[in-house]
Amino acid sequence: MTQETVGFAALGIHPNVLAAIVAVGYEEPSPIQAQSIPLILEGHDMIGQAQTGTGKTAAFLISIITQLLQTPPPKERYMGEPRALIIAPTRELVVQIAKDAAALTKYTGLNVMTFVGGMDFDKQLKQLEARFCDILVATPGRLLDFNQRGEVHLDMVEVMVLDEADRMLDMGFIHDVKKVLAKLPPKRQNLLFSATFSKDIVDLANKL
Ligand code: AMP
């Protein structure tokens, strides 16, 4: 192990994720990563107050990928059943998260998929039919579309992330988000990230 990975290595991250961290060139965990990764790995629900640029995306991705590798998938598994669900307010953010997830899952064999509005529906459907879905990154509206058509089932989700929750509410997605939450199994881990904490965000966090 190189000197650079000592900080990350002390956090309990799976070796195959550590290898990817070295490959993407992160040398030291950022403060939010050092604080949140051990808590998430212990299975706690978490609320993180974090702006873009703090490394919050890698914080939840590194933790989720480690957990997926440490917990074997259910024996009976079907296509279209994600184990981890990440909901973000915009297409750009979904694409960025999925890009980071692809880099961090490089040595794991886990599959990352995305659903966003304004992109070819059939193409997004095809990825679901081709492989198991380990991590699904989606905007709330498109996720509901796929769910209502019976293409994606949310009852096997083990961990759910609401990223940029304040923007999600500002953009009027609260009803979609609540509909998605109602489809998730009651036993799951919840992670919520938001730059600001209005009463609505606190209410949403309490609901989780
Ligand atoms: P985020 O706050 O998730 O939007 O991340 C901001 C940027 O920091 C992204 O470009 C990441 O690739 C990068 N990043 C995340 N964690 C680290 C780290 N530990 N060291 C260096 N760069 C990082």
Determine the pLDDT at residue 5: 44
Nearest-atom index, ligand 1, CA of 50? 2
Rounded CA gap, 117 and 190, in Å? 24
DSSP 14: -
Nearest-atom index, ligand 1, CA of 33? 19
Per-residue pLDDT tens over the stretch 128-155: 889 999 999 999 999 999 999 999 999 9
Determine the pLDDT at residue 50: 85
Q: Ligand 1, atom 11: nearest CA belongs to which residue?
A: 55
Q: Ligand 1, atom 6: nearest CA belongs to which residue?
A: 53
Non-local (6+) Cβ contacts of 130 within 8 A are none
Determine the pLDDT at residue 1: 45
Cβ(80) – ligand 1 distance below 6 Å: no
Residue pLDDT tens, the chain, 208 long: 444 445 999 999 999 999 999 999 999 999 999 999 999 999 999 999 988 899 999 999 999 999 999 999 989 999 999 999 999 999 999 999 999 999 999 999 999 999 998 878 888 888 888 999 999 999 999 999 999 999 999 999 999 999 999 999 999 999 999 999 999 999 999 999 999 988 888 888 888 8
Determine the pLDDT at residue 119: 76
Characterize 27-56 residue by residue with b for buried, 16 or more Cβ atoms within 10 angstroms of its Cβ, and e for exposed.
eebbebbbebbeebbeeeebbbebeeebbb
Cβ(56) – ligand 1 distance below 6 Å: yes
Cβ(96) – ligand 1 distance below 6 Å: no
Rounded CA gap, 139 and 91, in Å? 7
Cβ(36) – ligand 1 distance below 6 Å: no
Q: Ligand 1, atom 18: nearest CA belongs to which residue?
A: 26
Nearest-atom index, ligand 1, CA of 8? 19
Determine the pLDDT at residue 3: 44
Q: Ligand 1, atom 7: nearest CA belongs to which residue?
A: 53
Per-residue pLDDT tens over the stretch 145-181: 999 999 999 999 999 999 999 999 999 999 999 999 9
Is residue 41 within 8 A of residue 67, CB to CB? The reply is yes
- The rounded Å distance from CA 63 to ligand 1 centre is 14
Is residue 71 within 8 A of residue 42, CB to CB? The reply is no
